[in-house]
Amino acid sequence: MLIYAARRLAGAIPRVLLISVILFLLVNLPPGGPADIYAADPSASPQAVERIRELWGLNDPLHVQYLRWFGNMLQGDWGMSYRERRPALDVVMGRLGNTLWLTGGALIVGLAFGFALGLAGAWTRSHLGRALAQATAVVGMSVPTFWSGTLVLLFFSVHLRWIPAGGMGSIGEPFSLTDLLWHLLAPALVLGSVYVSQWSRYIQAGLTGAMQNDYVRTARAKGRTRGELLMRHALPNVAIPLVTVLGLEMPRLVAGAMVTEVVFSWPGIGRLLTDALLGRDYPVVMGTLLVLAVLVIVANLVTDLLYGLLDPRVRYG
């Protein structure tokens, strides 16, 4: 198992390298660059801008800049945020936890309701019921979260005043877990709802498939009820395909979180990236993208390992 994990981990390293190259080029190739922020100052002389370029090594060849940047990244020196004037690593890490709360919340919402709906769908024998479940699933994944989120805010926060208007906590109040969860409720529901429909579909399909297995038939012959068959025998079989789907869906979940953060003023890395891009905060942009990528790669790794745990046919070695 350990060797398997280590091998998986090693396999992720070239990916991280390639990502860093792509990101570096993406940010550094377009015209205009970090020094332009200071050129923005009407009283900055061309010489002063040139001095800053020189100081930051922006006149070096691209590959020299890349190697220096990547070397520094590895040593934990992500540069200073131009906007916040503190290490970009601190800036990004300070927001990462908030995004994890949101994606975690959405994941729980998605899975809980997904299982509920999936089970209901598999349990019902009505053809119409199943078609309806499938239709809801497709419509559910077609609703843009930034739209549904806005409507939720408008209705439940502004009109009914049931939920807070956004953010991670009540203004100025000391941190408390209940307050955080209270603020997490709406964004997690909105983000999770996209996946409810999709995951319930997988769960339902998995369950229906499993119900046709021989051993389930045997169990049925022994007189087990349909509910028992579903819960005891079919459900464990859903885990493997579901884990695969979760792994594949990670980038989209993270992208969804980025948009949801903007709607609900959730101070996570999605909002950070938006602000950093608008403010041309290059070190933070690079840091955020790299963290996003690593987040997905780690999620994929976990998926792989879970897969190994769940499916005895995957051999480690």
Partner 1 sequence: MIRRLVSLVIASLVLLSGVTLAQERATVLSPQEPRTLLPHLDLLTLAHEVENLVFDCLYAVDAEGGYIPRLAGEVPTLENGGISEDGRTYTIRLRDDVSWQDGEPFTSDDVRFTWQVITDPDLPIPARTVWEDIQSIETPDPHTAVVSFAEPNVGFIGTAASDSCFILPGHALEGEDLVNSQLNRRPVGTGPYSLEEWASGSFIRLAKNPDYWGGEPAIDEIVVSFPGGSQAVRTSLQRGEGEVALHLTSADARFIDRLAGYELAQAPDHAWWQFWVNNQDPVLQERDVRAALAYALDKQTIADTVMGGLVQPQAAMLPAGHWAHNPDVPTYEFDPERARELLEQAGWVDTDGNGVRERDGEALRLEILNIAGEAERRQVVQIAQDQWRNVGFDVSIREIDAASFPPTMSEGEYQLAYGWFGENQEPVFNLWLGTNWQNYANEEALALLREVPATVDSEARGELVRRFQQMVADDVAMLPLAPRPILNAVSERLQGYGPTLSGSLWNAEEWTLR
Partner 2 sequence: MTIRWRIFFGNPLAVAGLVVLVLLALAALFAPWLTPHSPTATRPLDMLQPPSPAHPLGTDDLGRDALSRLLHAGRTSLTLAIGVAAVAVGIGALLGGVAGYLGGRADGTISALVDTMLSIPALALAMVASAFLELTTLRLVLILGLVSWPTVARLVRAQVLSLKERDFVEAARATGAGHVRLLLRHLLPNAVTPVIVAGTLLVAYAVLIESALSFLGFGLPPPTATWGGMLNEAQLYYLEAPWLAVFPGLVITLAVAAINFMGDGLREATSGRTGEA
Q: What is the DSSP letter of 87?
A: B
Which partner in partner 1, partner 2, none is near 18 (CB below 5 to 8 A by kind)? partner 2
Which partner in partner 1, partner 2, none is near 135 (CB below 5 to 8 A by kind)? partner 2
Residue nearer to partner 1 on the CB measure, 183 or 233:
183
Q: Applying CB under 8 A, does 93 fall inside the site for partner 1?
A: no
Q: Applying CB under 8 A, does 184 fall inside the site for partner 1?
A: no
Q: What is the DSSP letter of 1?
A: -
> Of the candidates 59, 73, 57, which has an alpha carbon nearest to the alpha carbon of residue 21?
73
Which partner in partner 2, partner 1, none is near 139 (CB below 5 to 8 A by kind)? partner 2
The SS3 assignment for 61 reads: coil
Measure the CA–CA gap between 67 and 57, rounded to whole angstroms: 12
Residue of 8, 130, 252, 280 that binds partner 1 (CB under 8 A): 280
Binding mask 97-136 for partner 1 (x = CB under 8 A): -x--------------------------------------
Residue nearer to partner 1 on the CB measure, 51 or 130:
51
Which partner in partner 2, partner 1, none is near 267 (CB below 5 to 8 A by kind)? partner 1
DSSP 276-316: HHHTT-HHHHHHHHHHHHHHHHHHHHHHHHHHHHH-TTSPP
Distances (CA, A) of 213 to 24, 26, 121, 217, 310: 50, 50, 18, 6, 18
Measure the CA–CA gap between 280 and 37, rounded to whole angstroms: 8
| Angle at alpha carbon of residue 245, lines to 209 and 227, rounded to 5° | 35
CB atoms within 10 A of CB 50: 14
Measure the CA–CA gap between 99 and 80, rounded to whole angstroms: 22
Binding mask 133-172 for partner 1 (x = CB under 8 A): --------------------x---xx--x---xxxxx-xx
Q: Smallest distance, Å, CB 84 to partner 2?
A: 18
Distances (CA, A) of 85 to 80, 81, 82: 6, 5, 5
| Angle at alpha carbon of residue 71, lines to 90 and 300, rounded to 5° | 70
Binding mask 27-66 for partner 1 (x = CB under 8 A): -----x---xxxxxxxxx---x--xx--------------
Measure the CA–CA gap between 169 and 267, rounded to whole angstroms: 10
- The residue ranges that bind partner 2 (CB under 8 A) are 14-15, 18-19, 22-23, 26-27, 30, 32, 131, 134-135, 138-139, 141-144, 146-148, 150-151, 154, 158, 251-252, 254-255, 258-259, 262, 273-274, 277-278, 285, 288-289, 292-293, 296-297, 300
The SS3 assignment for 160 reads: coil
Binding residues for partner 1, rule CB under 8 A, total 44
Q: Smallest distance, Å, CB 154 to partner 1?
A: 9
Token digits for 59?
A: 């006149």
Q: Applying CB under 8 A, does 223 fall inside the site for partner 1?
A: no
Residues that bind partner 1 (CB under 8 A): 32, 36-44, 48, 51-52, 80, 82-86, 91, 94-95, 98, 153, 157-158, 161, 165-169, 171-172, 262, 265, 267-268, 271-272, 275, 278-280
